[in-house]
Amino acid sequence: MTTTENLTAEQVRERVAEQLRRSRARSTALTDAVDEDDLVRQHSRLMSPLVWDLAHIGNQEELWLVRDVGGRDPVRSDIDELYDAFQHARADRPALPLLKPREARTYVREVREKVFDVLERTPLEGRRLVQDGFAFGMIVQHEQQHDETMLATHQLRTGTPVLHAEDPPRAAEPLPAREVLVPGGEFTMGTSTEPWALDNERPAHAAHVDAFFIDTVPVSNGEYLAFIDAGGYDDPRWWSEVGWAHRQGANLVAPRFWERGPAGWHRTRFGVVEQVPLDEPVVHVCFHEAQAYANWAGKRLPTEVEWEKAARFDPATGRSRRWPWGDEDPGPEHANLGQRHLRPAPVGSYPAGASALGVRQLMGDVWEWCDSDLRPYPGFAAFPYREYSEVFFGGDYKMLRGGSFGTDASAVRGTFRNWDHPIRRQIFAGFRLARDARPDEVR
Ligand code: AVJ
Ligand code: FE
């Protein structure tokens, strides 16, 4: 959401209401697209049944907005434990006595009706939790995050395709330079002013990078194919020790959802089998594959600090932008966000979304693996609950930045931080390359 400094409480309420409606329309579309059996089934041990995500969305909304912000009685006090992500691993959720699809739909509707009433009656001041509508924004983002998770479940399900969307637009402009120099020195990382930024994005602080080069576009399927064809999956030289062990144990030979046919590589995308499009960013690779590709290509992955500087730093003013293109919220010309399309756009698309330094497609298309672990920023304070970020610090997680075609604009920003295990491939993640600048390349 845009900085709320100049918005009246009424305008904040309108924004909240609009965002709540948008996220619910998406959750509804993702769950109405399939039949009841499909909703309660486990499509992959990596994922919850779709009906769990739906009721979990409602439960999280009830806990924070109905009970905490609203101070109201529980809508249902008997199901909190079932929908607590820390109580049951995803693989175990189908066996739980979950709400049936009809009950889950009724539940989320009842919660939502109360929430609109709470929104009307709650002064959006006095408590940090409600300042600028934060708690509502947090719940909008939570729903959109689970919608992206449900989209990944859709990608894992087999059967007749049920999701459809137009292809993203193809840029008419020629490809930019393949890499740009990011100047060394300090910049402002993170934020203390973005009203709906989550705890791990805070506070704004000075971060230093040495000068480096970053690619203007993500690595494409065509480029990734050259790594496969060069035997990259069979050469331990390119892989870290843990990466190689995983490649061997999981028998990785290509991105997830790819299959080699007599006439070249195919992939399955939301139930449709198609030729691998060479000019699209590669997606469904894990951190270890991204790192191996980078080593093979003679480059490396950017660190998270480098990624954010390339995305936000404006050398003309010295300040950090909210988004790569500036401070205004994303429009369809800036980035492939919001599940408007069911695939990344060809590399070089969205010239209007380029950063000040000329780096494209930082937001949307594919999440980008960074060579950094999940760590708190200096001055981090858990808010409003430790289980969003803090309990994950120091775990086996690598950072992902920028969002994918399946990420809603309300659930990502220039400062937004995402993370996952380095072996995960069902998420919509790809990567771009960086390299150190040689002294003679730095003016
Ligand atoms: C921050 C995206 C890794 O989806 O697991 C959802 C967000 N936290 N419910 C996730 C989240 C609680 C989280 N990520
Ligand atoms: Fe959740």
Do 386 and 246 sit in the same domain of this protein? yes
Q: Which residue has the higher pLDDT, 215 or 1?
A: 215
Number of domains in the chain: 2
92 marked as binding residue: yes
Give 145 Cα–ligand 1 centroid separation in angstroms. Answer: 6
Q: Is residue 4 part of a domain?
A: no
128 marked as binding residue: no
CA–CA dist 4, 130 (Å, integer): 13
142 marked as binding residue: yes
pLDDT at residue 2 greater than cutoff 60: no
Q: What's the CA angle centered on 61, arms 20 and 404, to 5 degrees?
A: 55
Other CB atoms within 10 Å distance of the CB of residue 370 = 27
Question: What does the block give as tokens for 242?
Answer: 């843990």
Q: For residues 227-232, give the mean pLDDT.
A: 98
Q: What percent of the chain has pLDDT over 90?
A: 96
CA–CA dist 230, 293 (Å, integer): 11
Q: Whose CA is nearest to atom 9 of ligand 1?
A: 142
CATH value at residue 266: 3.90.1580.10
pLDDT at residue 173 greater than cutoff 80: no
Q: Is residue 3 part of a domain?
A: no
Query: What integer pLDDT is reported at residue 1 of this predicted model?
Result: 58
Give the pocket of ligand 1 (CB within 6 Å): 142, 145, 149, 388, 418-419
Cut 0.85: pTM above it: yes
Give 213 Cα–ligand 1 centroid separation in angstroms. Answer: 31
Give 215 Cα–ligand 2 centroid separation in angstroms. Answer: 33
The closest-lying atom of ligand 1 relative to the alpha carbon of residue 149 is 4
Query: What integer pLDDT is reported at residue 175 of this predicted model?
Result: 81
| Radius of gyration in angstroms for the set of CA atoms belonging to the chain, rounded to a whole number | 22
Q: For residues 48-68, give the mean pLDDT.
A: 98
Q: Whose CA is nearest to atom 2 of ligand 1?
A: 418
90 marked as binding residue: yes
Mean pLDDT of the chain: 97
Do 170 and 152 sit in the same domain of this protein? no
CA–CA dist 179, 182 (Å, integer): 10
pLDDT at residue 132 greater than cutoff 90: yes
Query: What integer pLDDT is reported at residue 418 of this predicted model?
Result: 99
Q: Is residue 296 part of a domain?
A: yes
Q: Is residue 2 part of a domain?
A: no
CA–CA dist 122, 6 (Å, integer): 19
Number of the ligand closest to the Cα of 148: 1
Question: Of 129, 156, 183, which closes a domain?
Answer: 156
420 marked as binding residue: yes
Full residue range of the structural domain in which residue 133 is found: 9-156
What angle in degrees, to the nearest 10, is found between the helix axes of 241-249 and 287-296?
120
Q: Which of 145, 146, 418 to mutate to test the pocket of ligand 1 (most atoms within 8 A of CB)?
A: 145
Do 238 and 199 sit in the same domain of this protein? yes
Q: Is residue 20 part of a domain?
A: yes
Do 329 and 420 sit in the same domain of this protein? yes
pLDDT at residue 3 greater than cutoff 90: no
Query: What integer pLDDT is reported at residue 443 of this predicted model?
Result: 72
Number of the ligand closest to the Cα of 149: 1
Q: Is residue 331 part of a domain?
A: yes
199 marked as binding residue: no
Q: Which residue has the higher pLDDT, 176 or 1?
A: 176
The closest-lying atom of ligand 1 relative to the alpha carbon of residue 418 is 1
85 class by beta-carbon count within 10 Å (0-12 exposed, 13-18 middle, 19+ buried)? middle
Q: Whose CA is nearest to atom 7 of ligand 1?
A: 145
399-438: pLDDT as tens digits: 999 999 999 999 999 999 999 999 999 999 999 999 999 9
pLDDT at residue 4 greater than cutoff 70: no
> What are the CA-CA distances from residue 200 to residues 150, 324, 374, 429 (Å)?
23, 20, 9, 20
80 marked as binding residue: no
Nearest to 406 by CA among 301, 335, 315, 307: 335
Do 134 and 87 sit in the same domain of this protein? yes
Give 142 Cα–ligand 1 centroid separation in angstroms. Answer: 7
CATH value at residue 24: 1.20.120
Do 223 and 144 sit in the same domain of this protein? no
SS in 3 state form for the chain? CCCCCCCCHHHHHHHHHHHHHHHHHHHHHHHHCCCHHHHHCCCCCCCCCHHHHHHHHHHHHHHHHHHHHCCCCCCCCCCCHHHCCCCCCHHHHHHCCCCCHHHHHHHHHHHHHHHHHHHHHCCCCCCCCCHHHHHHHHHHHHHHHHHHHHHHHHHHCCCCCCCCCCCCCCCCCCCCCCEEEECCEEEEECCCCCCCCCHHHCCCEEEEECCEEEECCCCEHHHHHHHHHCCHHHCHHHCCHHHHHHHHHCCCCCCCCEEEECCEEEEEECCEEEECCCCCECCCCCHHHHHHHHHHCCCECCCHHHHHHHHHECCCCCCECCECCECCCCCCCCCECCCCCCCCCCCCCCHHHCCCCCCCCCCECCEEEEEEECCCCCCCCCCCCCCCCHHHCCCCCEEEECCCCCCCHHHCCCCCCEEECCCCCCCCEECCCEEECCHHHCC
Question: What does the block give as tokens for 317?
Answer: 């003013």
CA atoms within 13 A on the CB side of 88: 22
Question: Of 134, 156, 178, which closes a domain?
Answer: 156
Give 388 Cα–ligand 2 centroid separation in angstroms. Answer: 9
298-345: pLDDT as tens digits: 999 999 999 999 999 999 999 999 999 999 999 999 999 999 999 999
Q: Is residue 339 part of a domain?
A: yes
Give 330 Cα–ligand 1 centroid separation in angstroms. Answer: 22
Do 347 and 288 sit in the same domain of this protein? yes
Question: Of 156, 183, 198, which closes a domain?
Answer: 156
The closest-lying atom of ligand 1 relative to the alpha carbon of residue 389 is 1
Do 137 and 215 sit in the same domain of this protein? no
Q: Whose CA is nearest to atom 10 of ligand 1?
A: 145
Query: What integer pLDDT is reported at residue 440 of this predicted model?
Result: 96
Do 47 and 181 sit in the same domain of this protein? no
Do 170 and 304 sit in the same domain of this protein? yes
364-391: pLDDT as tens digits: 999 999 999 999 999 999 999 999 999 9
> Which phi and psi angles does 226 have, rounded to 5°?
-65, -35
Give 144 Cα–ligand 1 centroid separation in angstroms. Answer: 10
Q: Is residue 161 part of a domain?
A: no
Tokens 């950090």 locate to 320
Do 311 and 195 sit in the same domain of this protein? yes
CA–CA dist 162, 156 (Å, integer): 12
Do 130 and 207 sit in the same domain of this protein? no
